Chains A and B, each alone.
With several copies, the nearest count.
Chain A
């Protein structure tokens, strides 16, 4: 399939044969690296057309193939980074969630702390949820959390009678590679919560090894 699209590409741009005499495999490898570089630098999901322009590939399909193979490569490596293909076809590179609590303090960009993250979890799980309800459950400091989460584009706030309804945005779904379909997303979230709890317990245990010996 890759070969066929390569041929198609050459059909469309026969000048390539003259201009780029290096091996086609090497050429593709170089383009894949450009896609990787773009994803690393951006830090937000990139559309296929952006990747096309970076890698100087005219076909979205070809770029998609390359990006997917890159994602596979990352998966096989089993490192701390992952490349996700989002529902809408965009690609993003990120640090796997489980590493974040251990290294967050090194980030130059201020990251969300435990408090706002809990508020976010609650909103995600209960959405669409009235703001008043969130404040009630999470306390008055949740006003600040909501503001911050909204600023980061993770939640949306819409007028609902005299109050406001909160729900997560597509940016939120993008971060976790979650479905945009509410029911499905909640199911996915439940699984993540279970995982998160397990990891938190593990971290706590690691922090106090003496008490176990």
Chain B
């Protein structure tokens, strides 16, 4: 008759447990919760177990609607009008009193100026003779290290032409396909080129989901221009 203590259902574990703990639900910031993700993973898990608990699903649904309501409330809530600053005490400020002017003979003479000049020229000569050796490697050397990450203009253009070829007849091309069989460094380079092209407005990068596939599309307006130019 040994009975294993019944395991807690998975939805009472994080991250789903929030959907079943009403007290906690009101304490979190509603916009910190991604309901779509919570619910889809909840259903996936439930499907995996092969046991559909309608009561739990119902509670999850109710909690989700509560979160949605809380979220919409924060949007709709009109901003508090800024507090009106306390009226400053209207205090009469007396007019500016002019200080009487007192001319002063200053003690600085041409000799002082010359002495200062001597001093500064001495320092300048010393500085010239003691040239501090550079701590950083020369510029060219510095950049060589990063050469693999620098993108040349030609490279960008070549890649764009290839991309156009690959996209012929297709709306989009998944990034995963583009980098298939490439090593890490090559992948990084390709991604950088894509970012350059996207920033130039020549392509669009679309990612529907967080960490999901990145789809590449030619910018429709530009591809139209390209079409006219090439025909």
Contact = CB atoms under 8 A, between A and B. Distances in A.
Interface stretch (B13-21, B92-100, B149-157): B92-100
B120 interface: yes
Interface in A166-211: 175-178, 189, 192-193, 196-197, 200
B107 to A, nearest CB: 5
Q: For this complex, into which size category does the number of interface residues on chain A fall?
A: 35 or more
A138 B120 CA distance: 8
Given A117-B112, A136-B88, A112 B117 contact: no
A193 B104 CA distance: 27
Interface string B102-138: 1111111111111111111101100100000000000
A121 B190 CA distance: 58
Contacts of A138: 93, 120
Centre residue among B101, B102, B108 by max chain A CB count within 10 A? B101
A114 B116 contact: yes
Determine the interface band of chain B, counting residues with CB < 8 A from chain A. 35 or more
Interface string A110-144: 11101001111110110000000000111000000
A117 B97 contact: yes
A187 B210 CA distance: 73
A197 B103 CA distance: 25
Contacts of A95: 100-103, 105
A121 to B, nearest CB: 4
Contacts of B118: 193, 196-197, 200
A110 B91 contact: no
Contacts of A98: 98
Contact of A111 (B94, B99, B115, B119): B99
Contact of A117 (B99, B121, B123): B99
B97 A111 contact: no
A85 B63 CA distance: 87
Interface in B4-62: none
Given A117-B97, A121-B120, A176-B113, A111 B106 contact: yes
Contacts of B105: 40-43, 95, 103-104, 106-107
B42 to A, nearest CB: 54
A101 interface: yes
A122 B100 CA distance: 17
6 contacts: A44-B104, A95-B105, A104-B105, A106-B105, A120-B96, A189-B94
